[in-house]
Homo-oligomer: A and B are copies of this chain.
Amino acid sequence: MVTIRDVAKHAGVSPATVSRVVNGLVGYSEETRRRVEEAVTSLNYETDFMARGLKTRQTSVIGLLAPMVSDALASEVMRGVEEAAREQGYAVMLGRTGLQSVFIDGYLRTLRTYRAAGVILISAVITQETRQILGPNIPIISVAISDRSGSPSVSIDDERAAYDATRYLLSLGHRRIGLLAGDPASVFVAHPRQRGYERAMAEAGHPPVVAHGTFFYDSGAPGLDELLRQDPDLTAIFAVSDEMAAAAVNELQERGRRVPDDVSVLGFDNTSTAQHVHPPLSTVAQPLEEMGRAAVRKLLRARNLGPRIMPHSIIARGSTGPPAHQHPAHQHQPSQEL
């Protein structure tokens, strides 16, 4: 292995000077710089991160903790994180965490002993304990989750996004809109999304119709079933994840109902799943990749305080449209544009 001393010898300077040049500090002549750089390339020298880390008490690694939940979502964020990290010269250390915080603690500890430059949490909330394990020197930030604690975070306004999405369905003329919600106990974003829906429905004077799923595909069909049991005349389904929405579309068609002619379906997150169903899913988009990039930048800046809210948007694809007509027994409602 070629060390900094080898380079120093080759360039005829001291190790200290080599270190200065390599790290772009000040305090050497142009001529020296040239000679050192020549030596570096000709010897193919590379800084030993272990030695540097031991000395500086910092490494260029960013810890990235992602849950097993909604892989497609985490994948998008990860892409953004990885790209931004690479551009800034950081490596990404990956940990997959379940819903249990058992693993997350372990990872946090590992990250601390590796002297990580920072930690990014996808779809998980920063607790007191989290902060405590990490100690005061390692910053942490959460992504894609509406954090109410005021901790550093990058996310959309989930409540508002769900509200807007419901308004969108309302503006299409729908009145009987069912919510395929998530389990608030296990997934944090479930709660604000449900609140947004309920607020929009309340404002419009329509009763909410809610069933709970797990965010995963498998829970979509049973959830739809439950919704339809509560109100067989639903003309629109709003699912808080694309996977559940996709399952709803497929199950609806299985039952002989056309999408969107008979029932509209709206998803959430704009993951790749949304485009793989037929018709493709209208959905609420989060700028996932950009959120990942933003998280890295925010983490690495000194001022890493408070939440950062990113814009959401509603992408209308084929799975939503105006309602055909209400159930024969009910009054006919012409579709209305808002």
**B96 near A93: Cβ-Cβ < 8 Å:** no
Kindly report which residue of chain B lies nearest to residue A220, judged by CB atoms: B276
Q: Is A86 an interface residue (CB 8 A)?
A: yes
Kindly report which residue of chain B lies nearest to residue A58, judged by CB atoms: B50
Q: Is A268 an interface residue (CB 8 A)?
A: no
> Looking at the complex, which of A108-116, A156-164, A181-189, A196-204 is the stretch in contact with chain B?
A108-116
**B276 near A276: Cβ-Cβ < 8 Å:** yes
**A71 near B61: Cβ-Cβ < 8 Å:** no
A254 vs B50: C-alpha distance when bound (angstroms):
57
Contact status of A48 and B113, CB under 8 A, knowing A61-B93, A82-B96, A272-B217: yes
A78 vs B71: C-alpha distance when bound (angstroms):
11
Expressed in whole angstroms, the minimum distance between the Cβ of A71 and any Cβ of chain B is: 5
Instruction: Say how many copies of this protein the assembly contains.
Output: 2
**B109 near A46: Cβ-Cβ < 8 Å:** yes
Which residues of B have CB within 8 Å of A103?
A: 86
Q: Is A49 an interface residue (CB 8 A)?
A: yes
Kindly report which residue of chain B lies nearest to residue A56, judged by CB atoms: B50
Taken residue by residue from 212 to 255, chain A's Cβ proximity to chain B (1 for < 8 Å, 0 otherwise) reads as: 00000100000000000000000000000001001101100110
A246 vs B276: C-alpha distance when bound (angstroms):
7
Expressed in whole angstroms, the minimum distance between the Cβ of A108 and any Cβ of chain B is: 11
Kindly report which residue of chain B lies nearest to residue A52, judged by CB atoms: B50
**A64 near B113: Cβ-Cβ < 8 Å:** no
Main secondary structure of the interface of A (DSSP, over half): helix
Q: Is A208 an interface residue (CB 8 A)?
A: no
Which residues of B have CB within 8 Å of A61?
A: 93
Which residues of B have CB within 8 Å of A113?
A: 46-49
Q: Is A59 an interface residue (CB 8 A)?
A: yes
Pairs across A and B, CB under 8 Å, 13 listed = A50-B50, A50-B59, A54-B54, A75-B75, A82-B94, A82-B96, A86-B106, A92-B95, A217-B272, A217-B275, A273-B273, A277-B277, A278-B278
**B75 near A71: Cβ-Cβ < 8 Å:** yes
Which residues of B have CB within 8 Å of A191?
A: none
A49 vs B64: C-alpha distance when bound (angstroms):
18
Contact of A278 among B51, B72, B95, B250 (CB under 8 A): B250
Q: Is A13 an interface residue (CB 8 A)?
A: no
Q: Is A91 an interface residue (CB 8 A)?
A: yes
